[in-house]
A and B are shown apart, each in its own frame.
Chain A
């Protein structure tokens, strides 16, 4: 799988009177690791929620590769290859590690993978096509029945695809170093392992764009370093485009090729980590204007 280019063009998100994002233009080339930083409340997580379909942007465009994707449902965006992790871990806490990863893997095996949601492929059966075209025919009813019958009757095709899913899920657990804990219930796992499991689960959907929301939150320097190495591996092995919300500058400097800075819902700077670090507006946003004004401390 290959990474996909992500573009936001004049993206805006308003909640009643509150403007959470305004006029965001971001262009992340395929396969890049992009940092997304900014003070609390800058709109970073809101942007992630727009990219995953939890929020419908109130203005602007969202493009993944060549396709315009704003307004799609979360599961459709997932099918197109957008996946994420959360600042506060959200695993399926009553499922085992392996099951968590499988939930992602199953929906993306074989023929279910990345059917552009708008396009309805002819089924090859004329009766089915006619039934589908009837006014009021429940969209996807045919697909639901086929999926369910397949899941229960498990013809060889389904068995093979399930076997592949399990193999793929185990590979991912191996990648994040959890292969020995595959049967542990997620909520009983240590915090660091849960974070890594969430990354494995996000990878299971075979993302072309992976969004990581503070993957090192609450980790000590050694654990953070391990996650940084993991992110780099993920990009190199899976080729996914990665956008990373991060507060630890050490992590941002260590892994991001480009950094975008948000403040009060606007993009205030963009560039390499070193450039951004020197940017006056960025320092202002983080430390306040006085720190830059030089009237007493002379910082820059």
Chain B
């Protein structure tokens, strides 16, 4: 929480900014994973990934409303959120697999610009379909069922919701890492992202692994969508755009194609928007209110790309989708 009366520069103030940065950063990181994995395997920037995230948010919303909305309480809150996450992961996975089949696979051997344009088309189509087709331009609001309250220790303070967001996203990312590093599907995905030809020779069905990559990234994005809804409450068809671009930025910052890079990039971007911006405010004569966070974030992207075009993690060493 960021109470406005906190003195700028106090320990509480910086601790709050850090927690806020980590919270948004965890959502960026979850979404960034899908960008980086798909890039790693297809060298395609899946611009429709923000909409996959949006679909997840709505699926989770549907489950929470069906289970009683604001009336959910007690232990049912936990059950409802787990069900919402599961539904979101599934809905996002189906959406991403369908997009891959319909919009990308037919263009597999086309010039690289073609699937990129196709991706942008899918992105616009989905966000408008939901906004104008189903919602008539209105927003939906996530039931506020998460227990409120803070956990404090000295100057450190974190709300239960923020703790849940950061903690659960770390667990999900660890799970993804385990899948990619340890399971045979993960090995096959890494093999395909190193060399499609070679993987096919080993008997791997390349198309199937490409779908698996989309699905894994989409599950993370779906989870991210629910966490976003729980945290910011309001969801819309176009909600995926800005977090999508931010997550893409995070993936580039970390070194696109690299899974650890996406996670580090996500948290780094989140912290830049809060702590980084406030650090700039320490400079006399500078005053960047919260609305400037996007400006700071994208300025950072430009600077990083100038000085370190391959991102924080170098591509060659970490290209392992």
Q: Which of B23-31, B132-140, B205-213 contacts A (4 or more CB under 8 A)?
A: B205-213
A165 CA to B203 CA, complexed, in Å: 14
Residue from B191, B211, B212, B317 within 8 A of A103 (CB atoms): B191
Residue pair B191, A205 in contact (C-beta under 8 Å): no
| CB neighbours of B194 from chain A (8 A) | 92-95
User: Complex formed: what's the CA distance from A143 to B183 in Å?
Assistant: 16
Are B202 and A152 in contact, CB atoms less than 8 angstroms apart?
no
Chain B nearest CB, measured from A172 CB (Å): 13
CA distance in complex: A90, B194 (Å): 10
Q: Of A73, A79, A107, which is in contact with the most chain B CB atoms at under 10 Å from its CB?
A: A107
Question: CA separation between A75 and B206, bound complex, in Å?
Answer: 8
A144 within 8 A of B: yes
Pairwise interchain contact B185-A147, C-beta atoms closer than 8 A: yes
Q: Decide if B190 touches A151 in the complex (CB within 8 Å).
A: no
Is B205 in contact with A92, judged by CB distance below 8 angstroms? Answer: no
CB of B49 within 8 Å of the partner chain: no
Q: How far is the CB of A106 from chain B (nearest CB, A)?
A: 4
Whole-angstrom CA separation of A151 from B189 in the bound complex? 12
Q: Do A74 and B187 touch (CB < 8 A)? A: no
User: In the bound complex, do residue A107 and residue B203 qualify as a contact, i.e. CB atoms below 8 Å apart?
Assistant: yes
Q: Which of A92, A102, A140 has the most CB of B within 10 A?
A: A92
Give the shortest distance, in Å, between A54 (CB) and chain B (any CB).
Answer: 7
Q: A94 and B190 in contact (CB under 8 A), knowing A74-B197, A152-B183, A162-B184? A: yes
Contact B203 A79 (CB under 8 A): yes
Determine if A73 and B191 form an interchain contact, defined as CB atoms under 8 angstroms apart: no
Q: Is A84 at the interface (CB under 8 A from chain B)?
A: yes
Interface pair A106/B184, CB less than 8 Å apart? yes
Cross-chain contact B190 with A95 (CB below 8 angstroms): yes
B185-203 vs A: 1/0 string, CB under 8 Å? 1111011001101111111
Determine the chain B residues whose CB is within 8 A of the CB of A144 once the complex forms: 208, 211-212
B145 at interface by CB-CB < 8 Å: no
B187's nearest neighbour on chain A, judged by CB, is A103
Give Cα A162–Cα B198 distance, bound, in whole angstroms: 21
Within 8 A of B (CB), among A240-254: none
The verdict on A52 contacting chain B, using a C-beta distance below 8 Å, is yes
Once the chains bind, are B198 and A52 in contact (CB under 8 Å)? no
Chain A: interface size category: 35 or more
Chain B residues whose CB sits within 8 angstroms of the CB of A258 once the complex forms? none
B179 within 8 A of A: yes
Asked if A138 meets B101 with Cβ closer than 8 Å, knowing A103-B191, A205-B202, the reply is yes
Binary flags per residue of B234-278, CB closer than 8 Å to A gives 1, else 0: 000000000000000000000000000000000000000000000
Q: Give the complex CA separation of A94 and B317 in angstroms.
A: 8
Which A residues touch B203, using CB under 8 A?
A: 75, 78-79, 104, 107-108, 112, 205
A99 located at the interface, meaning its Cβ lies under 8 Å from any Cβ of chain B in the complex = yes
The number of chain B residues with a CB under 8 A from chain A is 29
Selected contact of A151 from candidates B184, B197, B202, B211, CB within 8 Å: B184
**Per-position binary interface string of chain A over residues 77-97, scored 1 when its CB falls under 8 Å from any chain B CB and 0 otherwise:** 011000110000011111100
Contact A94 B320 (CB under 8 A): yes
- A140, B191: Cβ atoms closer than 8 Å: no
Q: Which residues of A contact B190 (CB under 8 A)?
A: 92, 94-95
Given A94-B194, A144-B212, answer yes or no on A201-B184 (Cβ-Cβ < 8 Å). no
A191: Cβ under 8 A from any B Cβ = no
Given the known interface contacts A75-B204, A107-B202, A108-B203, the answer about A99 and B211 at a Cβ–Cβ threshold of 8 Å is: no
* Residue among A74, A95, A112 with the highest chain B CB neighbour number at 10 A: A74
Q: Determine the distance from Cα of A79 to Cα of B201 in the docked complex, in whole angstroms.
A: 9
Given A103-B187, A106-B187, A151-B186 in contact, is the A54-B179 Cβ separation under 8 Å?
Answer: no
With A148-B212, A151-B184 known to touch, is A75 a contact of B205 (CB < 8 Å)?
yes
The answer to whether B201 and A74 touch across the interface, beta carbons within 8 angstroms, is yes
19 pairs, A vs B, C-beta closer than 8 Å: A74-B200, A74-B201, A75-B206, A78-B203, A84-B201, A92-B190, A92-B198, A94-B319, A99-B187, A102-B184, A103-B188, A103-B202, A107-B204, A140-B208, A144-B211, A151-B179, A152-B185, A205-B201, A205-B202
On A, residues with C-beta under 8 Å from B are: 52-54, 73-75, 78-79, 83-84, 90-95, 99, 102-104, 106-108, 112, 138, 140, 143-144, 147-148, 151-152, 154, 162, 165, 201, 204-205
B interface vs A, CB < 8 Å? Answer: 101, 179, 183-188, 190-191, 194-195, 197-206, 208, 211-212, 215, 317, 319-320
Known: A94-B319, A151-B184. 20 other contacts (CB 8 A): A74-B197, A78-B201, A78-B203, A79-B203, A83-B201, A90-B195, A90-B197, A92-B198, A93-B194, A94-B194, A103-B199, A103-B202, A104-B202, A107-B203, A138-B101, A144-B212, A148-B185, A148-B212, A152-B183, A205-B201
